[in-house]
Amino acid sequence: MTPQDYLKLKAPNINGRLKKIRNGIKEIEEKAQEVLKQFDPFCHEKFRLNYIFNNPLFLQTKQKKVEAITTQQNPFEFDFKPYEKKS
């Protein structure tokens, strides 16, 4: 889709290809709103897993694994061992 085509999506009368795209976007927004109503407060990770993950309408990308901080680790301490000079 070109930037010009994107700008045309808001127009009342558009060709069939753009109308199909516009209707698809509306459908995505409506389904997302339904999923969002389930989360209070909003959690991006839950939304991604429940709506975007394995949804054929979205490009699936690999997600980085974020290591959770355990209760034993102090989140304000920094481990300098990897950066210390090796003798």
Non-local (6+) Cβ contacts of 36 within 8 A are: 42, 47
The residue among 70, 52, 71, 69 whose CA lies nearest residue 61 is 52
Helix (H, G, I), strand (E, B) or coil at 87: coil
Q: Residue 69, Cβ neighbours under 10 Å: how many? A: 9
Residue 66 has pLDDT above 70, yes or no: no
Residue 78 has pLDDT above 70, yes or no: yes
pTM listed for this prediction: 0.55
Query: pLDDT for 19-51, tens place per residue?
Result: 998 998 898 899 888 888 887 788 888 888 888
Distance CA 78, CA 75 (A): 8
